[in-house]
A and B are shown apart, each in its own frame.
Chain A
Amino acid sequence: MLLDSVCLSQRPKLRFNSKIAEILASPRQSVPMESFSQNPSLWQPNRQASQQTDLLVRSILGLFSFVSVATTAGIVLTLFFETVDFFRVIPIWRFFSETRWTPLFASAQFGIIVLISATVLTTSIAIAVALPLGLLSAICLSEYASPKVRQILKPALEVLAGVPTVVYGYFALLFVTPLLQKIIPGLQGFNALSAGMVLGIAITPLIASLSEDAIYAVPRSLRDGSYALGATKRETIVSVVLPAALSGIVASVILAVSRAIGETMIVAIAAGQNATLGLNPLVSTMTMTAYIVQVSLGDTPAGSIAYQTLFAVGTTLFVMTLGLNVFSFWFVRRFREKYD
């Protein structure tokens, strides 16, 4: 039925001589086979031309698919060369051993650990919020919600994933922070706590949807087996379903960590721009991404040390997220339970 509708709507683009159509249309007249070979004007498929077109299209499309490889190469090379230039001026041991991050001051120091500590802080808070929320909603959607309720809840969670991060930043700075300040007296206007919490909300849908896929893939027979042994629903979920889906759940959490590390606008708006070493969530702090934003907003001439720090920080960020992504892929492959 599908094929019919397609053939009717789009006729094949072969050259179809009207004469043949006439002959075919009249049923009594038989079509002599020789007429095709003797009169070439009747049937001209021109295979060569269409094959050449095919080859041309194939190479153009191949070129397009090459763009994605070129993008990766571009990212790696630009980061690499500017970072090498940076380390020619600032020795690499200073980058890793200094404990202050003041690249724009006269007495410049380049301790990346300061920015990393802030990133680790906001990411930990985010995961502390997103892991329970995301995992429990995934369980709710796949195990408890009826199909009808699920049809409403799932798109709603997806909307949460589609909200632009700058909107989350606004929400964190102008709604969550004032709210938290009423509860926690010493909270600064810019702080890692509210940025991290909102960041957690932003990555909750990622954990929820990826974990739900993993939980959904656990076969029914496992659940039935557990029920048959007398386990309750919760016992089945906690001791049978979740362990079976563990690789997918862990992978989703790792991807969420990677997303939280690379997330920019929420922390740039709500966590402030104060590069200090420490893990105090109540004060202003500056993550790697927030630093890149801060420098980008000013006019930094290419080749200056500030310009190069962008790429040095960018490289650190890239290596961390790439490492986590690769680890997550590896983890799924290595520990996936296969049920057939």
Chain B
Amino acid sequence: MLFNPQLERRYLWDNLFASATWIATGLAILVLLVLLADVLLDGSPRLSWQFITSLPSRKPELAGIAAALGGSIWLLVLTALIAFPIGVGAGLYLEEFSIESWWSRLIEINISNLAGVPSIIYGLLGLQVFARWMQPLTGGRSVLTGALTLALLVLPVIIVSTREALRTVPDGLRQAGFALGATRWQVVSAHVLPLALPGIMTGTILALSRAIGETAALITIGALTFVPFIPNNPTSPFTALPIQIYNWVSRPQQGFHVNAAAGIIILMVVLMMMNATAILLRNRFQKTLT
């Protein structure tokens, strides 16, 4: 026999390889399920209205999540107010207004690099610039400082998703507008932006859900871990859900670990709600567009 294809052996290897890829994928998803189940099992007995409305306490069974939840909502709103206009504006500029030049290329390279900078480095920037130099304005280690830091952190994500959404708007629309004698801004504000807005909103919500789960940057700017009140103005000290969870996890007592698991459930529920909103927005407007 001149040529022996050894098909049986090769097919055996093929099957083994295929199973390995399935096992790897399954394993990753299994870990996700185990993680969720572990958190749910540990935390659900602690979940109660009292847990949501109570302030932190030295005693685990009295401690609650109210201050952290309030702080996270403050952060969410302020971050959105800062990052949304700047991010969308920058995306609009890069996609609709700027002419191909070294400046626009510099900004583009810069944004892709910023997306790879660890969040803790943003924390150091926030600590130095917002918490120290701008202390008279921001009140030091305040909600505003946290929101400014998080806004810078999520800015690249918002800019990139804005640009992607703008690219889906067909060019014929712009050309029709220019042919009628409209300026760029008239075309963008009346036609392009309204069409791209659902995509932009989806990207922004996803970016904000990253901000909500962010811990390292906030710890670095010096967000306090024990704050027995809900912030009532932007310059107030604050704590946030992930910081509270970190604080509880790092204590030795079992009771606080249960609190941490319950806090994680609430954090995940908030994240899921945000993601569901983003997906709903996307699906709903995708239908009307095409």
Contacts and interface: CB of A to CB of B under 8 A. Distances in A.
Interface stretch (B45-53, B56-64, B231-239, B241-249): B241-249
B173 A6 contact: yes
B283 interface: no
Interface string A295-320: 01101001000000011001001100
A65 B89 contact: yes
A314 B21 contact: no
A58 B181 CA distance: 18
Nearest to A235: B10
Given A3-B172, A65-B98, A264 B120 contact: yes
A62 to B, nearest CB: 5
A33 interface: no
A71 B89 contact: no
Contact of A322 (B117, B189, B190): B117
Interface stretch (A89-97, A98-106, A158-166, A274-282): A158-166
B289 interface: yes
Given A3-B176, A78-B124, A82-B128, A64 B85 contact: yes
B22 interface: yes
A156 interface: yes
A13 B186 contact: yes
A325 B121 CA distance: 15
Given A64-B90, A78-B128, A234 B249 contact: no
Nearest to A154: B25
Given A68-B155, A311-B124, A264 B32 contact: no
A117 B28 CA distance: 27
Contacts of A38: none
A289 B216 contact: yes
Contact of A175 (B38, B94, B185, B190): B38
A122 interface: no
A141 B25 contact: yes
B285 interface: no
Interface in A74-96: 74-75, 78-79, 82
B141 to A, nearest CB: 10
Nearest to A56: B185
Contacts of B246: 166, 169, 265, 268-269
A72 B114 contact: yes
A292 interface: yes
A74 B195 CA distance: 35
Given A75-B125, A78-B128, A258 B249 contact: no
Interface stretch (A24-32, A45-53, A180-188, A216-224): A45-53
B25 A153 contact: yes
A191 to B, nearest CB: 15
B219 A293 contact: yes
B120 A234 contact: no
Contact of A10 (B5, B190, B209): B190
A265 B216 contact: yes
A214 interface: no
Contact of A321 (B86, B118, B156): B118
B211 to A, nearest CB: 10
Contacts of A78: 124-125, 128-129
B260 A12 contact: no
A289 B219 CA distance: 11
A137 interface: yes
A208 B25 CA distance: 9
Contacts of A141: 25
- Of the four ranges (under 10, 10 to 19, 20 to 34, 35 or more), the interface on chain A belongs to 35 or more
Given A164-B267, A171-B38, A65 B90 contact: yes
A160 B123 CA distance: 24
B99 to A, nearest CB: 11
Contacts of B42: 174
A204 to B, nearest CB: 5
B120 A62 contact: no
B107 A289 contact: no
Contacts of B250: 269
B13 A255 contact: no
B53 to A, nearest CB: 22
Contact of B180 (A12, A66, A235): A12
Given A12-B180, A71-B152, A78-B128, A162 B249 contact: no
A139 B21 contact: yes
A232 interface: yes
Interface string A257-292: 011011111001100000000000000000001001
B11 A232 contact: yes
Q: Considering residues B94, B124, B245, which has the most beta carbons from chain A within 10 angstroms of its beta carbon?
A: B124
B213 A165 contact: yes
A2 interface: yes
A65 B17 CA distance: 48
Given A62-B97, A314-B124, 8 more contacts: A50-B183, A58-B185, A65-B94, A144-B18, A145-B25, A175-B35, A201-B28, A297-B225
Interface of B: 5, 10-11, 13-14, 17-18, 20-25, 27-29, 31-32, 34-35, 38-39, 42, 85-87, 89-90, 92-94, 97-98, 106-107, 110-114, 116-125, 127-129, 132, 152, 155-156, 159, 170, 172-173, 176-177, 180-186, 189-191, 194-195, 209-210, 212-216, 219-222, 225, 242, 245-246, 249-250, 257, 260-261, 264, 267-268, 271, 275, 289-290
17 contacts: A47-B181, A62-B97, A65-B107, A71-B155, A137-B25, A139-B21, A156-B29, A163-B268, A164-B242, A170-B261, A170-B264, A201-B31, A262-B121, A265-B216, A269-B249, A310-B127, A317-B121
